Every structure is written in C-alpha cells, then in structure tokens.
C-alpha cells in the first residue's frame, strides 16, 4: 500500500504536537509494511518572503494555487493508493484536497484542531469557550471578535477560508474519511453538521520507547506550549497554594508566546523550574521519573500526545475536566480530573498524589494498561491501516492501484 502524506509544518519556534504526530505515523506505517512518501511544506519559509510576496498570504490561506500544483505533481510522481492530509494551513489551503478527489484517489484527512469550524482553531475567546461559529455558514463573529491572533484583519482570511470551503463542500464532499483524535472532537464536528458516515476516531500515539516508571515517581511535570489556552498560569497559582514550602518540584517544559509572562508569574515560587523546550527523548525520560503529568488546559484539547507519552511510561495525568481529557483520563483510574480554572481543586489533587505513593503507583499502572490496549503504536497503527484498507475496498481505484 502506497501512501502520500501531505502536511504543512508549523513554525519551528512554536513547538507542535501535530508535526510529531505526522512524523510518528509515517514511521509506524513504514514499519508496518506501507510505502510512505511525504509532501511537506514549512511555515518557516514565510519569514524569507519579500514584502510583496507576503501580501499574497491572505489569498494563499483561502486558495493556494501553489498548493494545488504541489499536490498534483506529487501524485503524478508517487502514484499513491491513498493521499493522507494533515494540516493545510496556511501554505497549502483546503483547495489542495479538491485536486486529489479530481484525480480519483481516496482522500483521508486528519483534523488535529477545530480550524475548519473556528478561525482560532481552539473554540477559545477571551479565556473562555466560545462556539458562536460552530453552525454558522458565515463565521462573521470570528471577524467581529478578532479571534485569530486578536486581530480582525488577520481573522478575515480565516473566516473567508471557512465560509468558502464550507459552501463548496471541500471538507465534506472532497474527502472520503475524516480522522479525529477523540470522540469528543468527533462530536463537535458532528454538531457542526459534518457527515457522520465520514467521521472516524483514531487516537494519537508515540513511537518513542522508554523504560516504564518503577514505583510512584517524584515531582510533577507539565509539557506544554506556553500560551493562554494551556492554563499554565492556573497551574502556577495552584502550585503556590499546594506547596508554599517548596516540598515538591514542578518542571515546566515548553516554549510559546506567553513564556516571559509566565516566568515572571513564577518568579520566586519554590520548587518551580522552567526548562524551555527539550528533545522528545529527554521529555519522556523526565516523565518516566515523575509522580504525574499536569495538564491544566482551559480549551477543548483535541488529543495532546503528552498524555500518551505519560501513559507509555506508566505515569498518571492530572488534567482539567475538559474536551477529550474526560474521555482519555479516567478519574481515579488513570489520573485525576479537576474543574477548569479551579486553582483550589487542582491544588488538592496535587497534594493528594504527592502524599499517596500507593495511589500514584496504581494510577500509573492502569495508565500503562490503557496505553497497551488503546493508545500504543500497535493498536493505533492497525486502526489507521484498517481505515485505508476499507477505503481501497469500497472506493473507485485511482492511478496508483
């Protein structure tokens, strides 16, 4: 089976779990007998553009002629059985999906966020969940509120992209299967009117192999983009409340636009350290020594890989009761949940795990069991190959067959 994987990589200065998912899936598909070719474009290239060319970016977001040409040329070169898209924003545009369908090749699209139904991609506005655009054909609230980068001007091309491709049926009529990383995410797209028969869940995984934690671990770890929706500010406040004497340690790993403000908030807080971005192997190594991974998000997380990374080394997760967290983190079984924004409840959960080694060890063991059954490399790769095979058995073959 020959697969062409298409992805627009995010800026290297903004660490992205989506990039890692694409890399891991491609590796695992090849490891399981598939022939994998990639078409990759990088958002980093925008910084090298001339001022004149940068003026064309809003139009590129809506309809990229270059993106359609790149995809068409790659198909002619690779002759794939299936084309699997991931991110098309901003350099490829959804128009690239239409090219593949016109060439009669099955199209799979993995949606790692809510970009096709929310200009911000997060359903988060002013620190709160907002679904004003969920069922609108014209997402005018996105422009009115400046949902993308807090800018009305910057939000216009995103809103236009959503409106035009929704009207043209690009995502629904020109894609054969839409893969979502969780049932919660599938539910939001279904609520937006997307066809249920094309939606399917396939969990994210990790191919990083590390030693499973022995015992209860020590210290807490947060692995996150340092941006508002991730709720690291809530975690810092809860940490000060839970361990004012610095009797426990919290390592925050990651980078992002709010890094400076968060470091200022954490100045002088005992037991707290900011480590910046680290290589994935080092992240997993630190997780394998921890009491728990902490995820205080205030938005609809789709499926951050860090949950799987923690589970893979038998480490439980403390997470806000939001989005997919309630689906993947089983309260009292594989981790602990708390109400979003609740500094007090998060602090109580942290103190509970710090004081109860038996509980931490039991949660970690069950987390590892869930990983082996549902989130590991083997079950998730088998599920993805199953999606491909079902398409090849039911749809008209393209030039690669």
Which residues neighbour 100 within 8 Å (Cβ) at sequence distance 6 or greater? 71, 75, 83, 107, 174
Say yes or no: 182 and 227 in one domain: no
Confidence tier at 128 by pLDDT (50, 70, 90): confident
| Distance from the first to the final alpha carbon of the chain | 9
CB of 101 closer than 8 Å to CB of 107 = yes
Q: How far is CA 39 from CA 4, 80, 179, in A?
A: 7, 12, 19
One domain for residues 65 and 163: yes
Q: Is the pLDDT of residue 399 over 60?
A: no
Same domain, 187 and 157: yes
* Alpha-carbon torsion (252, 254, 255, 256), positive or negative: negative
Token pair of 149 as six digits:
């980068």
Looking at the structure, do residues 141 and 112 belong to the same domain, yes or no? yes
Task: Looking at the structure, tell me whether residues 168 and 195 fall in a common domain.
Answer: yes
Percent share of the chain, pLDDT over 70: 97
Lowest mean pLDDT among 12-16, 86-90, 244-248: 12-16
Nearest CA-CA partner of 85 in 102, 100, 72: 100
Joined together, the tokens standing for residue 115 give 């970009």
Q: What is the mean pLDDT of residues 384-397?
A: 88
Q: Is the dihedral of CA 46, 52, 55, 59 positive or negative?
A: negative
14 and 54 together in one domain: yes
Tell me if residue 140 falls in helix, strand or coil: helix
Residues 63 and 82 in one domain: yes
β-sheet bridge partners, residue 335: 317, 331
Is 399 inside a domain boundary? no
Nearest to 285 by CA among 213, 192, 359: 213
Mean pLDDT of 213-221: 96
Predicted local confidence at residue 283, as pLDDT: 93
Strand partners, 36: 3
* Residues of the domain holding 257: 220-375
Top-confidence residue, 147 or 126? 147
Q: How many angstroms separate the CA atoms of 308 and 289, rounded?
A: 15
Contact call for residues 210 and 284 (beta carbons, < 8 A)? yes
CATH of the domain at 319: 3.40.50.2000
Structure tokens at 6: 């298409």
> Do 250 and 112 fall within a single domain?
no
**202 and 179 in contact (C-beta within 8 Å)?**
yes
Strand 35-42 versus strand 2-9 pairing type? parallel
Q: In which band, very low, low, confident or very high, does the pLDDT at 15 lie, cut at 50, 70 and 90?
A: low
User: Is 215 within the bounds of a domain?
Assistant: no
In the block, residue with structure tokens 């309809």: 63
* 307 belongs to a structural domain: yes
396 has pLDDT over 60: no
Distances in Å between the alpha carbon of 253 and those of 186, 187, 192, 264, 306? 29, 31, 34, 16, 11
Percent of the chain with pLDDT over 90: 86
Helix axis angle for 65-78 and 95-102, nearest 10°, is: 40
Residues 236 and 348 in one domain: yes
Exposed/middle/buried for 33, CB within 10 Å: 0-12, 13-18, 19+? Answer: exposed
Backbone angles phi, psi at 26, to 5 degrees: -65, -45
Distance between CA atoms of residues 47 and 199, nearest Å: 35
E strand residue ranges, 220-331: 220-223, 250-253, 272-276, 292-295, 317-320
| Mean pLDDT calculated for residue range 152-157 | 96
Are the C-beta atoms of 308 and 371 separated by less than 8 Å? yes
My answer on whether 90 and 112 are in the same domain is: yes
How far is Cα 344 from Cα 100, in angstroms, rounded to an integer? 51
36 and 102 co-located in one domain? yes
| Residue, of 3 and 326, whose pLDDT is higher | 3
Q: What pLDDT score does 169 carry? A: 96
pLDDT band at 299 (very low <50, low <70, confident <90, very high): confident
**For residue 164, is pLDDT > 50?**
yes
The label of the residue with tokens 């009115």 reads: 144
Task: Examine residue 24 and state whether it is found in any structural domain, yes or no.
Answer: yes
Q: What local confidence, expressed as pLDDT, does residue 85 receive?
A: 98
The least confident of 31-40, 123-132, 189-198 is 123-132
Q: What is the pLDDT of residues 233-268, one digit of tens each?
A: 999 999 999 999 999 999 999 998 899 999 999 999
Asked, for residue 141, whether it belongs to a domain, the answer is: yes
With respect to residue 211, please indicate whether it lies within any of the assigned structural domains. no
How many structural domains compose the chain? 2
Q: Is residue 197 domain-shared with residue 249, that is, in the same domain?
A: no
Does 137 or 323 have the greater pLDDT score?
137
Q: What is the mean pLDDT of the chain?
A: 94
CB of 287 within 8 A of CB of 257? no
- 400 pLDDT more than 50: no
Q: Give a yes or no: residue 213 inside a domain.
A: no
Q: For residue 92, what are its two tokens?
A: 């490829």
Q: What is the mean pLDDT of residues 182-200?
A: 95
- State the average pLDDT over residues 80-87: 98
Residues in the chain: 401
Instruction: Give the residues across from 125 on adjacent strands.
Output: 128
Q: Is 400 part of a structural domain of the chain? A: no
pLDDT interval class at 401 (50, 70, 90): very low
Distance CA(376)–CA(197), nearest Å, equals 26
Residue 48 CB-density burial (10 A; 0-12 exposed, 13-18 middle, 19+ buried): exposed
């Amino acid at each position: 089976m020959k697969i062409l994987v298409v992805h627009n990589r995010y800026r290297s200065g903004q660490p992205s779990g989506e990039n890692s998912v694409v890399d891991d899936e491609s590796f695992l598909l090849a490891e399981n007998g598939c022939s994998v070719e990639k078409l990759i474009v990088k958002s980093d290239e925008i910084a090298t553009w001339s001022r004149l060319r940068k003026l064309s970016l809003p139009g590129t977001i809506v309809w990229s002629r270059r993106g359609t040409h790149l995809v068409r040329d790659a198909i002619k070169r690779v002759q794939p059985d299936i084309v699997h898209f991931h991110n098309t924003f901003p350099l490829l545009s959804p128009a690239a999906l239409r090219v593949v369908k016109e060439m009669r090749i099955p199209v799979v699209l993995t949606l790692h966020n809510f970009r096709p139904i929310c200009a911000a991609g997060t359903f988060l506005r002013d620190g709160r969940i907002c679904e004003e655009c969920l069922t609108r054909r014209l997402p005018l609230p996105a422009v009115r509120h400046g949902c993308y980068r807090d800018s009305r001007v910057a939000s216009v091309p995103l809103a236009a992209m959503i409106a035009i491709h929704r009207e043209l049926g690009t995502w629904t009529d020109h894609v054969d299967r839409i893969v979502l990383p969780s049932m919660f995410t599938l539910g939001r797209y279904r609520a937006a009117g997307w066809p249920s028969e094309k939606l399917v869940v396939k969990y994210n995984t990790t191919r990083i192999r590390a030693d499973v934690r022995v015992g209860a671990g020590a210290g807490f770890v947060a692995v996150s983009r340092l941006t508002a929706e991730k709720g690291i500010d809530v975690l810092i406040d809860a940490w000060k409340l839970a361990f004012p004497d610095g009797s426990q340690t919290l390592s925050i790993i990651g980078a992002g636009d709010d890094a400076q403000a968060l470091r200022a908030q954490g100045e002088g807080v005992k037991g707290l350290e900011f480590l910046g971005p680290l290589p994935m192997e080092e992240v997993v190594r630190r997780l394998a020594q921890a009491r728990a991974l902490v995820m205080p998000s205030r938005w609809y997380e789709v499926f951050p890989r860090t949950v799987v990374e923690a589970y893979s080394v038998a480490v439980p997760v403390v997470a806000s009761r939001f989005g997919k967290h309630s689906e993947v983190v089983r309260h009292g079984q594989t981790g602990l949940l708390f109400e979003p924004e609740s500094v007090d409840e998060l602090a109580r959960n942290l103190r509970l795990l710090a004081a109860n080694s038996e509980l931490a060890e039991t949660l970690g063991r069950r987390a590892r069991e869930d990983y082996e059954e549902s989130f590991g490399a083997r079950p998730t790769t088998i599920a993805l190959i199953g999606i491909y095979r079902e398409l090849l058995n039911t749809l008209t073959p393209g030039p690669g067959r």
